[in-house]
Structure 1
Amino acid sequence: MSNQDPVMRRSTLRAAALRVADDVLFPAAAEVDRTGVVPPSHWRALADAGLYGIAAPVEAGGPGLEFGEVTEILEVLVSGCLSTAFTWLQHHGVVISLSRTANPSLRDELLEPTVSGRLRAGVAYAGVVPTPPRMTATRTDDGWIFSGHAPFVSGWGVVDLLQISARDTATDDVIAAILPTADLSTDVRASPVELTAAAATATVSLQVGGLAVPDARVVSRVTLDEFFANQNVGVRLNGTLPFGLVRRCTALLDVAGQAPAARRLRERADEARVTLDSAMNDAAALLAARADAARLALDAVAALVAARGGEALRRSNDAERLFREASFILVAASRPELKDLLVRRFADAPDPR
């Protein structure tokens, strides 16, 4: 696909994403929500469509999409099934790490199978965000010992690889390693997290005790400042979640005969997207734009519930499920600053600064 004309490449992948979202994921979303299980056929459909490698540059075997093209595809997939898309979204962070790593042997081993989707990957990086960190790394002669807690890790039992980040106890640098999940059973204890929405993400809390990580599995080492500077990309990728929900709600509003409301919500989404993209180099502005997008998603699903009326209270109804998923989007992949922004927005309270 990387040899295609860029316009054709974008068109092909976008068409594939639309087909998978609307013809495969959305028709099964209610059943995925009911059972709490994403069927293996969903992962195969994403891989067959070439959608596991969309974040990889051409030189890494990917399509070399522009960042905006990647986020558009993420939005489309989120509109199909939040559980499937949220689990799949984590994979792209690992692809990006492997495409940029200074560890050539790890890149040669894992990049091609992750780009193709033959290996699925997840991440556990939230343990390094707070101070003191929840996840630490202690240097040994030939590697590291990771210890700590990762409270929300999605895709457990689904992903083949897990990228775990920890803070060096000596320097506070962030060490990230990619490990096969099959090798984690001895030193990692997983406890299921019962979610009211997107339960099929197979989210667990990980307790890590004395996990030996050889240098050969380390994908990156950066200073803490560099780590937080790089988080803007992750914030923007997770910022696709609200827009995916808006896309589905507006489509259902059209069906419900509420086209003017759907049109206005799409206009607001376009405005919010531009604001989010323009804030990529400003962490504070980016979080503010992310909060506004999350609030917009809640507005969109509230409009859908109102349009559907009493039927939206039934557990089998799309509007009821999407309303629960809006609460997931408010807090998923969040951080204290974003939570505070949302609380102030919903309370109509001034910024204390």
Structure 2
Amino acid sequence: MTIAAHPLVARARELADGLLSPAAERVDQEGIPPGHIEAVKRSGLLGMSAPVAYGGSAAPASVVRETAEILAGACCSTWFVQTQHQTPVLTLAGTALPVRERLLGPLARGELLSGVAYAHLRSYPRVPVRVRREADGWRFSGTVPWYTGWGLNDVLLLAGVTEDDEALFAFVEAREQPGLRPSELMRLAALTASRTVSLDLDGLCVPEEAVALRTPYARWAAADRPKTRNANPAVFGIAEAALALVEEEYAAVLRGRLAEIRRRAYALADHPVPDEHVEERLAVRAEAFTLMRAATTAAVVTGGGRAMLLDHRAQRLAREGLFLLVQGQTSASRAVHLKRLAERHDSGR
């Protein structure tokens, strides 16, 4: 079976063409409506990486990437909300703790939608969220700087660092409660529709049975680092959507370069040793960003003055591209990207 013929890819395409893309400019300005979230839940895409025994599809990485490209190109806000869900699913699939039996099935079947609050762990040794042992569980204190999907998600996977330098992940209900208070919804240059807030944690008590992962921070970080080195499939989805707005004689050149960068990026992503070819992975990631920005800029140029209207597709895609430049960014990826930008500028003088 080809990737394009896979049922999940077909469902993603149907969802994108029939619902997400036609409404994307309105969603960008007004927010993701409940009906779109329900459609995502019914699509089966939330369980694409989950074990079949729990109602998922255990789809190969190539299918996961293709669906990400399709959804991001159609409506990046909706893609971003649903992609947050995949980390909780994978975390539960990899644990033997009791929470697996309680939540993996509902998350895999799309009965529940989950968000994540763990990116702040990457700022270590700075620890925005601390976790202390209590008699009947754990107490979280601190601030989660970014949390996406507030008011859309049913549960969230919350992470912090313990006094013993362990990374601890636990599930809590995604609602205001004693010890958990959200900020006002953030107004962002892009993806405001995804309903992002910060979370103030003032002694949030979480029972032991809600814990999904507890491991030395160094071990967690070693497994997490490779995830931020590879090119994000959403970058290719945004670039493709932008090139669809450009006259073909110009788009064809960029599309050919895009295909080559995608081929290299995915070959590296499929490499069996994720800690190898680090410099090449980061370089290709930066190349993908450069091509995406060229594509979205070409779409804006093609649109002319109308592209400055907030409800113009080229303008939305350009702003979403800006968001992807910093989403999942680490100090290593930032350094490589900035170096590449400086070198391109210097070579053009």
Q: What residue number does 2:170 align with?
A: 177
Calculate the TM-score normalised by the size of structure 2: 0.90
Tell me: CA distance 1:70–1:136, structure 2 relative to 1, closer, same or farther (3 Å): same
Sort the Cα spacing of 1:336 and 1:232 in 2 relative to 1 into closer, same or farther, 3 A.
closer
Instruction: Compute the displacement of 1:195 (Å).
Output: 0.3
Deviation of 1:10 after TM superposition, in Å, equals 6.0
| 1:74–1:236 distance in 2 versus 1, CA, 3 Å | farther
Residues 231 and 284, structure 2, Cα contact 8 Å, conserved in 1: no
**Residue in structure 2 matched with residue 3 of structure 1 by the alignment:** none
Is the CA contact 1:236–1:276 (under 8 Å) kept in the aligned structure 2? no
Distance 1:86 1:50 in 2: 16
Pick from 324, 329, 335 the counterpart of residue 334 of structure 1: 329
Instruction: Give distance in 2, aligned partners of 1:8 and 1:189.
Output: 43
Distance 1:336 1:249, change over 3 A: same
1:154 Cα shift? 0.2
Q: Give 1:337 shift.
A: 2.1
* Cα distance change on mapping 1:180 and 1:141 into 2, 3 Å: same
Q: Secondary structure at the match of 1:209?
A: strand
Structure 1 residue 50, shift from structure 2 partner: 0.9
Counterpart of 1:161, as a letter, is V
Moved more, 282-291 or 23-32: 282-291
| Deviation larger for 269-278 or 90-99 | 269-278
- The residue identity in structure 1 corresponding to 2:153 is V
CA distance in 2 between partners of 1:275 and 1:347 (Å): 27
Q: Which moved more, 1:259-268 or 1:160-169?
A: 259-268
Aligned to 2:180: 188
Aligned partner (choices 123, 127, 137) of residue 131 of structure 2: 137
Number of residue equivalences: 340
Q: What is the match of residue 259 of structure 2? A: 267
Counterpart of 2:187, as a letter, is E
Give the conservation status (yes or no) of the 8 Å contact 1:253–1:262: no
CA distance change for structure 1 residues 57 and 220 in 2, over 3 Å: closer, same or farther?
A: same
Match of 2:14 among 3, 8, 19: 19
SS at match of 2:169: strand
Indicate the residue corresponding to 1:164 in structure 2. Answer: 158
Deviations 1:94-128 (A, max 9, x none): 11111112213x12211111111111100000222
SS at match of 2:6: helix
1:41 aligns with 2:35: yes
Q: Residue 229 of structure 1: which of 222, 227, 239 is its match?
A: 222
Q: 1:293 to 1:282 in 2, by over 3 A?
A: farther
**Cα deviations by residue, 1:25-51 (Å, 9 ceiling, x for unpaired):** 11101001121x101121122222211
Shift of 1:349: 7.8
Change (3 A) 1:92 1:174: same
Structure-2 residue corresponding to 1:214: 207
Unaligned stretches of 5+ in structure 2? Answer: none
What are the superposed Cα offsets for residues 147-187 of structure 1, whole Å, 9 maximum, x if unpaired? Answer: 11111110011101010111111x211000011123x4221
Residue 232 of structure 1: CA displacement? 4.6
2:93 counterpart residue number: 99
Q: Deviation string for 1:46-65 (max 9, x for gaps)?
A: 22221110011223321121
How many angstroms apart in 2 are the aligned matches of 1:9 and 1:118?
Answer: 26
**What secondary structure does 1:152 align onto?**
strand
TM-score (norm 1): 0.89
Identity %: 33
> Per-residue deviation at 1:141?
2.1
Q: Do the aligned partners of 1:58 and 1:64 also contact (CA within 8 Å) in 2? A: yes
Paired residues for 1:66-77 under 5 Å? 66-77=60-71
